[in-house]
A and B are shown apart, each in its own frame.
Chain A
Amino acid sequence: MSDDAADVQRVLSGDVDAYAKLVDRYYDRCARFAIRMLGNRDDAEDALQSTFLRAYRALGRYQERDRFSAWLYRILVNQCRSIAARRSHRERVFVREEALLLNAPDKTPAWTGEDEEFVQRVLNELDPLLREAFLLKYVEELSYEEMAALTGAGVSALKMRVKRACDRLRERWERIRDD
């Protein structure tokens, strides 16, 4: 039994402090995804609090044959989606047609002098579904099959999102370099 599965069993047996080990083990990695995905720390904190609270409530449904990290990430991805969707009236991204998503116009952020801030701003300008796919693939380094299990989207759609995200990032990069 993995450390995660053992801690889950302890929580289900009534040892709530065992859950602190799970939270501590995954908080930093989840925080990185939430901040990169949502673009600000307040929304990311909301997503993280909600994710770990929901995961605790649903712990009885966790199945040991799944990796705990993958199960937790499914909840996190969905919480980030919910917060992003609530944040803006115009972000109805999860009911869009794929064709509209992949051909949406974009803007170019200005160089700010700070690499991390610049990268965050470039990521923020991507459509949320493209940003999500890029982060899961190249920051969290998941396989397309793992991404499909997390997001509910098909592998071919995810490959297209990642490709389009890379194209958009490259276009911005070249524009900035040429300026």
Chain B
Amino acid sequence: MIDPELDPDIEWIAREAKRAVAVDPMAVERVMARVRLEPRPRVHDLRWRWIVEPRSLPLSPLVGAALAAGLVGIGILLGHSQIDRGGQTTPTGRPQAVAELRPPLAPHDTVIKFVLVAPQASTVAVVGDFNNWDAQATPMTRTPTGGTWSVAIPLHAGRHVYAFVINGANGTTQWVADPTAPLAPEDGLGAPNSVVLVGGSAS
């Protein structure tokens, strides 16, 4: 019994669907043939992860107080920066976004800031080829003052396809393109995606 509340007909369908499927014995080899053409997985992502992941550090009260004072200063600077970009927000409630370049983090990476105005959203995430279209990987943060969501992530040089995942307060989920960026060619056949070019000129 898969689920005690499931009626027998649905349970039968589920049981049939659970049967193992015949797999081509060469399929794994085909995967590995392609994998062997790839460079080794990038380890510098681990360094970025080390920077952004939360962690506990033992601190004396004196050092803690000094760090807290420093963080207040950083917060003020960031707040000033946010005010400077206030022109991106609109009162209309329609999502608006911009991918904004910042100085490179590493020789081949550039930090890209994604910004989306979506006042009605309960959560927003950016998805793309850089995070395997994983809606959990890169959540965006709502600004304290309104419906603007943003996140900054390092991207390799090149062309990246992305979209935003907006979860509404009523439980709906929408995948939307960046309204201020070029659409990816694939968009004509499916869900809309946008393109950002990193480290090169648009073509």
Asked if A106 is an interface residue, CB under 8 A from chain B, the answer is no
- Shortest B187–chain A CB gap in Å is 10
A27 to B26: give the CA distance in the assembly, Å.
11
A82 → B minimal CB distance (Å): 7
Q: How many residues of B contact A (CB 8 A)?
A: 57
Contact with A along B30-55 (1 / 0, CB 8 A): 11101110101111111001000000
Q: Is B82 an interface residue (CB 8 A)?
A: no
Residue contact B31 to A48, C-beta cutoff 8 Å: yes
In contact, A82 and B133 (Cβ under 8 angstroms): yes
Does B172 sit within 8 A of A, measured CB to CB? yes
Which residues 28-71 of A sit at the B interface, judged by CB distance below 8 A?
A: 28, 31-32, 35-36, 45, 48-49, 52-61, 63
Instruction: Flag A88-130 by CB within 8 Å of B: 1 or 0 each.
Output: 1101111101100000000000000001100110110000000
Q: Which residue of B lies closest to A167 (CB)?
A: B10
Smallest Cβ distance from A115 to chain B, in angstroms?
5
Query: Are B190 and A86 closer than 8 Å at their CB atoms?
Result: yes
CB of B190 within 8 A of CB of A139, answer: no
**Interface residue tally for chain A (C-beta within 8 Å):** 70
Residue of A48, A74, A115, A169 near B27 (CB, 8 A) is A48
Complex Cα gap A86–B191 (Å) = 8
Any chain A CB within 8 A of the CB of B157? no
Q: Mark A138-179, 1 if CB is under 8 A from B, else 0.
A: 110100000001011110110010000010011001000000
Are the CB atoms of B133 and A78 closer together than 8 Å? yes
Asked whether A98 lies within 8 Å of B173 as measured between CB atoms, the reply is yes
At the interface, is chain A mostly helix, strand, loop or mixed? helix
For the complex formed, measure the closest distance between the CB of B168 and the CB atoms of chain A, giving whole angstroms: 9
| Known A57-B38, A95-B175; contact A12-B43, beta-carbon cutoff 8 A | yes
List 12 extra interface pairs beyond A27-B23, A94-B191, A154-B171, CB under 8 A. Answer: A28-B21, A32-B20, A49-B31, A52-B35, A60-B42, A75-B132, A95-B176, A98-B170, A139-B14, A152-B136, A152-B173, A173-B13
A contact residues vs B (CB 8 Å cutoff): 11-12, 14, 16, 19-20, 23-24, 27-28, 31-32, 35-36, 45, 48-49, 52-61, 63, 74-75, 78-79, 81-82, 84-89, 91-95, 97-98, 115-116, 119-120, 122-123, 134-135, 138-139, 141, 149, 151-154, 156-157, 160, 166, 169-170, 173
